[in-house]
A = this chain, B = another copy of it.
Amino acid sequence: MTKTIYSKEMKDVLASLFSKYGFNEKKAKLLAEVHTENTLHGVNSHGINRVLNFIEQLKLGLVVKDVEPEKVESFGCIERWDGKLGSGVINAIKCTNRVMEIAKENGMGLVALRNTNHWMRAGYYGWMMAKKDCIGILFTNTEPNMPAWGGKEAKLGNNPLVISIPRKKGPIVLDMAMSQFSYGKMSTYKLKKQFLPFDGGWDTNGNLTKNPEEILTTKNGLPIGYWKGSALSMVLDILATLLSAGRSTYKLGLESHEYGVSQIYLCINPNTYDDLALQEKLVEEIITYTRDITPTEPNGKTYYPGEQSLINKIKNQKEGMKVSEEIWTKIIDLINP
Please tell me if A337 contacts chain B, counting CB pairs below 8 Å. Answer: no
Q: Given A107-B77, A152-B293, is A176 in contact with B282 using a C-beta cutoff of 8 Å?
A: no
Q: Given A156-B290, A163-B235, is A268 in contact with B296 using a C-beta cutoff of 8 Å?
A: no
Please tell me if A294 contacts chain B, counting CB pairs below 8 Å. Answer: yes
Rounded to whole angstroms, the CA-CA distance of A80 and B149 in the bound complex is 37
Rounded to whole angstroms, the CA-CA distance of A251 and B278 in the bound complex is 14
A238 touches B107 (CB 8 A): no
Give chain A interface residues in 77-122, CB to chain B under 8 Å.
77-78, 80, 105-110
Please tell me if A225 contacts chain B, counting CB pairs below 8 Å. Answer: yes
**Stretch in A24-32, A184-192, A297-305, A318-326 touching the partner:** A297-305
**Stretch in A34-42, A49-57, A240-248 touching the partner:** A240-248
Q: Mark A214-258, 1 if CB is under 8 A from B, else 0.
A: 000000000011101101101101110111010011110000000
Q: Given A250-B285, A279-B245, A293-B147, is A172 in contact with B238 using a C-beta cutoff of 8 Å?
A: yes
Please tell me if A213 contacts chain B, counting CB pairs below 8 Å. Answer: no
Q: How far is the CB of A187 from chain B (nearest CB, A)?
A: 19
Rounded to whole angstroms, the CA-CA distance of A236 and B283 in the bound complex is 12
- Copies of this chain: 2
Q: Given A243-B268, A248-B286, A286-B250, is A150 in contact with B106 using a C-beta cutoff of 8 Å?
A: no
A residues bordering B, Cβ < 8 Å? 73, 75-78, 80, 105-110, 135, 147-153, 155-156, 163, 165, 172, 174, 176, 180, 198, 206, 224-226, 228-229, 231-232, 234-235, 237-239, 241-243, 245, 248-251, 268, 270, 272-273, 275, 278-279, 282-283, 285-286, 289-290, 292-297, 300-305
A295 touches B234 (CB 8 A): no
Rounded to whole angstroms, the CA-CA distance of A78 and B108 in the bound complex is 7
Q: Given A107-B76, A286-B241, is A174 in contact with B295 using a C-beta cutoff of 8 Å?
A: no
A290 touches B148 (CB 8 A): yes
B272 touches A172 (CB 8 A): no
B250 touches A273 (CB 8 A): no
Q: How far is the CB of A198 from chain B (nearest CB, A)?
A: 6
B285 touches A273 (CB 8 A): no
Rounded to whole angstroms, the CA-CA distance of A278 and B72 in the bound complex is 15
Rounded to whole angstroms, the CA-CA distance of A202 and B123 in the bound complex is 31
B172 touches A198 (CB 8 A): no
B242 touches A107 (CB 8 A): no
B78 touches A289 (CB 8 A): no
Chain B residues positioned under 8 Å from A303 (CB to CB): 150
Most chain B beta carbons < 10 A, residue from A108, A206, A243: A108
Chain B residues positioned under 8 Å from A109 (CB to CB): 108
Contact of A273 among B80, B105, B224, B279 (CB under 8 A): B80
Shortest Cβ distance from A236 into B: residue: B163
Q: How far is the CB of A253 from chain B (nearest CB, A)?
A: 8
A239 touches B286 (CB 8 A): no
- Sample (9) of A-B pairs whose CB atoms are under 8 Å apart: A78-B107, A80-B273, A135-B243, A148-B302, A150-B303, A224-B229, A237-B286, A241-B286, A248-B286
Chain B residues positioned under 8 Å from A206 (CB to CB): 296
